[in-house]
Amino acid sequence: MAFTLSMHPWVYLAKYKNSSWTDTLIEQEHLTPQEEENLSPEALNELMEKRNNIKGLPIVNYTTQYGMGCFEGCKAYPQPDGSIKVFRPDENAIRMHNSMKGLLMPAIDVKTLEQGILDSVRKNKESGFVPVYKKEWEENNFLTADAVYIRPFTYAEPGIGLGISVEPWVVSVSTNVSGYFKEGMRSRALVTDKIRATKGGTGWIKCDSNYVVPILAKKAAEKDGFMEAIFLDAVEHKYVEEGSSCNIFFKLNNGTLVTPELGDTILPGITRKSVIQLAKDMGVKVEERKISIDEVMSNGVEAFVTGTAAGVTYLESITYNGTEKVFGDGKIGELSFKLQKTLKGIQYGVIEDKYNWMKSL
């Protein structure tokens, strides 16, 4: 169960008007979770169509016509004590604020959005729509465990000419998810010749339009049996930048962990930031710098991608210009596994959260 349109009934909605933000929680039409499970597919689809239609949001605007919008992705994780906690929503709120500024919108207050995220998860938990902790998830280090995916996004006021949003909405919806990548698909990646972002562009913003090319590249890669597409830089076509929706890391044969340095073509990933901290605390040398695909093909011994949806997902190989580089024996490497297990353990409450990353409702 990756992303679905089975959205939770409680939605967070904020609106900028008359030079200030106002926000509220909206309860969309719903039954009890058990009653919804027992609905026929047709009846459930009808209910979901109603739930996914937020009244008052205009069809024709700068977002729907020109992709002038940005969004976030964060997760809430069931805990062994029956509670549920959200992973670093403060960081998501900061990035959303910066993305909105980058698109010349009035930017929502960081604390306001963070609280809105927490409040909407709390209301959906009270209504019984969030998953509960299962002990058996520990058997495979939570790789198939359930979580709540939270999607805050901006939505523009009515508009059809080329323009910017000056009275935007911020909406936050959520749904239950488990694994992101397709089960049974080998974790191979293909270096694409498409370009994700260019210098001076919006690559650093979690912007709607940034995802068009990555989606096309990923779908093309999947048709050829690959799980992921990897992008190189737009200028020299030699430096690794990102995956289709995730940051990327490489462990080299000298033990160093390398990830592309941030800039205007790289998204500042929150999971990326967290993994860097974890690796350093494990005594691993971490470098944020340019890394060429040739260096990866020559010296890489482990590779993995990171993101809210992906978590820490290892790559068994990367194929570039027809040559496949297999990392190790094609299985998850020692460091990749340790980082994956530690991050998941913190998120699901079985490893101490000494960083105060997990926020209670």
State the Cα–Cα distance between residues 356 and 153, nearest whole angstrom. Answer: 25
Q: What angle do CA 76, 26, 20 make, to 5 degrees?
A: 95
State the Cα–Cα distance between residues 225 and 154, nearest whole angstrom. Answer: 34
Extract the tokens encoding 181. Answer: 């990548």
Reply yes or no on whether 111 is catalytic. Answer: no
The H or E element that residue 293 is part of is: helix 293-299
Q: What DSSP string runs through 239-253?
A: BEEEESSSEEEEEET
- Catalytic, out of 15, 85, 125, 206: 206
**DSSP class of 139:** G
Ramachandran quadrant class, 51 (left: phi over 0; alpha: psi -120 to 50; beta: rest): alpha
Extract the tokens encoding 361. Answer: 């409702």
Segment 135-144 long-range contacts (CB within 8 Å, at least 24 positions apart): 137/348, 138/350, 141/340, 141/341, 141/344, 141/345, 142/344, 142/345, 142/347, 142/348, 143/179, 143/344, 144/178, 144/179
Q: Identify whether the C-beta of residue 178 lies closer than 8 Å to the C-beta of residue 146.
A: yes
CA distances from 231 to 29, 193, 199, 300 (A): 42, 7, 14, 17
State the Cα–Cα distance between residues 165 and 158, nearest whole angstrom. Answer: 9
Extract the tokens encoding 344. Answer: 């998941």
CA distances from 319 to 41, 277, 323 (A): 41, 29, 5
**Cα 280 from chain centroid (whole Å):** 23
State the Cα–Cα distance between residues 245 and 232, nearest whole angstrom. Answer: 14
State the Cα–Cα distance between residues 148 and 136, nearest whole angstrom. Answer: 18
Active-site amino acid positions? 206
